[in-house]
Amino acid sequence: MALPDPDLPIVIIGAGFSGTLLAVNLLRHGARVVLVERDRAHLGRGLAFGMPRPEHLLNVRASNMSAYPGDLGHFQRWMGFDSQEQANLFVPRATYGRYLREQMMAAIASAPARFLIKEHEAVSIDWPGGATPAIVHLDSGEQIPARAVVLALGNLDPSGLAVTRALDSQMAFANPWHPAATEDLDGIDHILLIGTGLTAVDVALSLDRAGYRGRITAISRRGLAPRAHTPSGPHVKPGPRPEARGSALLRQIRRRAAEIGWRSAIDELRPHTQSLWRLHDPAAQARLLRHARPWWDVHRHRLAPPVAERVAAMQNEQRLTFRAGRLVSATPQGPNARIEWRPRGSDHCETLLAQRVITCTGPESDVTRCAQPLLTMLIAQGRLRPDPHRLGLEVDQAGHLVDGTGQPQDALLAVGPVTRGAVWEIVAVPDIRRQVWTLARALTNSQWVGGEGL
């Protein structure tokens, strides 16, 4: 990709894992970089790795958490791990946040003249000349000319559920990461979690660590909870990409799972997941989302063994229950929330009372519903649009954001979870590190290194 005026910086908006690692890679290739992050606590860490909660472990083994696709042992060396047993450990996310921040600080030290951090919010982007340079406007009033702008927004904040809007903010929490969601627990004996995935598990662990000994009920449409990793592994040999598509692909995965176990069958697909997603047309992708996504999520995105053991213990103690059903209403009843819900497969509603309701359905993916002013403005300008499945922003295969007319834009790009509609698997470190490594080389015309060019 040839970009004008190489003396102008590349501006990255968002300094979580995606934005920080993109900045590190760009600096390695000689680019000037401005990293914009409104929340100092997220700088160089993001939400996932910035929370100082020791009970929240990585969902990926240490052996696969390197920030660099060309040096897969980097994180292990940083941790001082030199044995196979240590390579299989699942370390606290906060520890990984320190690792990521250290990579950023090392990059700054190696190129201080080419790197700036702006602890402000980007409120708008203009293209006075119609193309480049772009002008990024900060809430401080500062304007930053850029030869390219990359949105690295991470997971968007949850937008809340309509069914809980009748409950006040002290009883119902739309954002499970709000500190108050797991504090002030005296007098509470029943908490409802809406959702049964990884977020619900995180919240249940935080409640447990905070000393809560009451009941926790987690409800989702299918009631599926994440499965656990094996203590060691994975032990999967690289194989060819499956030829089957659609329902035939699902049947092939089931057959393979019967032969080698479901974990290995899923792990075999890891190198091919993104290309398989792209090979399906939007209608086929929509069918996969509708019928297979809940099952894929709980088998693909697993719990560290110590976390799975703690969850099982809470279930055995009848302090944590996963239920399948749909919420019908939530209304205040004195100090309680009165929840009407319909169990899966039933025509009749049941009632439960809870003193706190925490939405754990995950981040917002529909960009037209999020409360992010910059995204709202860019959509109104016709500079970007949601992908067909409302999983994030529509991008082409190289990461260029697609505008309202369907045209990719050379100098406006995105990385990380907001590109999920194009690649499906882009929330884990192994996927994002490859994405930002590839984009950094493209933005700096460095594709022709290491024998990869003509």
User: Is the pTM value of this prediction over 0.85?
Assistant: yes
Domain residue spans in the chain? 10-56+92-157+365-443, 162-227+302-359, 246-300
pLDDT, one tens digit for every residue, the chain (454 residues): 444 577 899 999 999 999 999 999 999 999 999 999 988 777 777 667 766 678 889 989 999 999 999 999 999 999 999 888 899 999 999 999 999 999 999 998 999 999 999 999 999 999 987 766 899 999 999 999 999 999 999 988 888 899 999 999 889 999 998 989 999 999 999 999 999 999 999 999 999 999 999 999 999 999 999 999 988 877 778 788 988 888 899 899 899 899 988 888 888 888 899 999 999 999 999 999 998 898 899 999 999 999 999 999 999 999 999 999 999 999 999 999 999 999 999 999 999 999 999 999 988 899 998 888 999 999 999 999 999 999 999 999 999 999 999 999 999 999 999 999 999 999 889 999 999 999 999 999 886 544 443 3
Give the residue carrying structure tokens 């790795």.
49
Separation between Cα atoms, residue 303 and residue 57, nearest integer Å? 9
What distance separates the 2 farthest-apart alpha carbons in the chain? 73
Domains 10-56+92-157+365-443 and 162-227+302-359 alike in fold: yes
Q: What angle do CA 81, 111, 105 make, to 5 degrees?
A: 40
Quick one: CATH architecture of 162-227+302-359? 3-Layer(bba) Sandwich (3.50)
Q: What would the CATH number be for the domain defined by 10-56+92-157+365-443?
A: 3.50.50.60
- 103 close to 20: Cβ distance less than 8 angstroms: yes
